[in-house]
Amino acid sequence: MNKTQIRHSLILLLTAVIWGVAFVAQSVGMDYVGPFTFTCVRSFIGGLVLIPCIALLQRGSRRAGNEENVPGEQKNPKWMLLAGGICCGLALCAASCFQQFGIQYTTVGKAGFITAFYIIIVPVISLFFGKKCGILVWVSVLLALGGLYFLCITESFRIGTGDILVFICAFLFAVHILVIDYFTRYVDGVKMSCIQFFVCGAVSGIAMLLFETPSLSAVLNAWQPVLYAGVLSSGAGYTLQIIGQKGMNPTVASLILSLESVVSVLAGLLILGQTLSGREVLGCVLMSAAIVLAQLPQKMPQKKTKPA
């Protein structure tokens, strides 16, 4: 591993730490504002933070002499970018709101690991679009289901409301990733992310006005968790991910970023004093093993061709 790869690995590790601690910020924010309000404010902040980031990245590309356009960007740059931002924003809004509601009823550690289930859901959903999964993915699915059982289902065979909501959030984040995967083939990812934050903020803002009674004083009381989630988790986190993944093996990058689930447990313990039972720790271990297995490279079976 050369110096550049080490530097990018550290950037991705920093991203995972930022995202892991963000679960604490989201939990604390619920003490002051409602889920829709929190999602709305953090999304608009994230979008505003990305505007100067886009300018800096473009300036850096010009200095490096890399002015190549994203494939397909010349054909439909405006409508494709806007369509991608809207689709991603709607998916992000749905996922974020379910996560915010779920965090109210569960610990940040459990929320972090259940959310990380999206890493396994993505390849399974991809089956419906003609993409095959290797045997390791199916093994990881079984391990993850076992992990979810120990994490979410109590000895009395009851599953918490918060756990159900966060699981729905994991599924929606999987959809969000697949939408991003499609549109980033044609448009600039950071620009699309900026649009998606504003779309997410606008949609959650409408829900905020319909179902909550937001007040400026409540938002100001929650300024610390809101700023952390908006500036660091949304704005800086996404930008660091883009920079860190350049030149990195996608598998290694995914494994480093998946450490956010571990960080969420440690952050919940150190900052909020939340602990996990032995049963829940076992669930976390199984989920971690499933996440690692799902990201390991594997050879897909190839069709045999008859000799001519």
Q: Work out the mean pLDDT of the chain and round it to a whole number.
A: 84
Amino acid letter for position 166: V
Dihedral-angle region of residue 259 (phi above 0 means left; psi in -120 to 50 means alpha; beta otherwise): alpha
Q: Give CA–CA dist 290/20, Å, rounded.
A: 18
CA angle 125, 130, 136 (to 5 degrees): 60
- pTM summary value: 0.84
Q: Give CA–CA dist 27/274, Å, rounded.
A: 11
In this structure, are residues 134 and 298 in contact, taking their beta carbons and an 8 Å threshold? yes
For the cut 70, the answer to whether the pLDDT of residue 250 exceeds it is no
Instruction: Give 127's DSSP letter.
Output: G
Task: Return the structure tokens found at 67.
Answer: 């002015």
Q: Give CA–CA dist 152/164, Å, rounded.
A: 8
In this structure, are residues 275 and 136 in contact, taking their beta carbons and an 8 Å threshold? no
Strands (E), 29-152: none
- Note the pLDDT of residue 308: 44
CA distances from 41 to 31, 55, 93, 198, 231 (A): 15, 23, 12, 10, 11
Q: Give CA–CA dist 212/42, Å, rounded.
A: 16
Instruction: Give 75's DSSP letter.
Output: T
Question: Residue 66 burial (CB < 10 Å; 0-12/13-18/19+)?
Answer: exposed
3 state SS of 107: coil
Domain ranges of the chain: 3-295
Instruction: Report residue 71's pLDDT band, with 50, 70 and 90 as the boundaries.
Output: very low
pLDDT tens for residues 284-295?
Answer: 888 888 888 877
Task: Return the structure tokens found at 293.
Answer: 């297995």
Q: Give CA–CA dist 121/280, Å, rounded.
A: 21
Task: Return the structure tokens found at 79.
Answer: 């409508």
pLDDT tens for residues 183-211?
Answer: 888 888 888 889 999 999 999 999 999 99
- Note the pLDDT of residue 70: 46
Which residues, at least 6 apart from 162, have a Cβ–Cβ distance to it below 8 Å? 101, 102, 103, 104, 105, 106, 110, 111
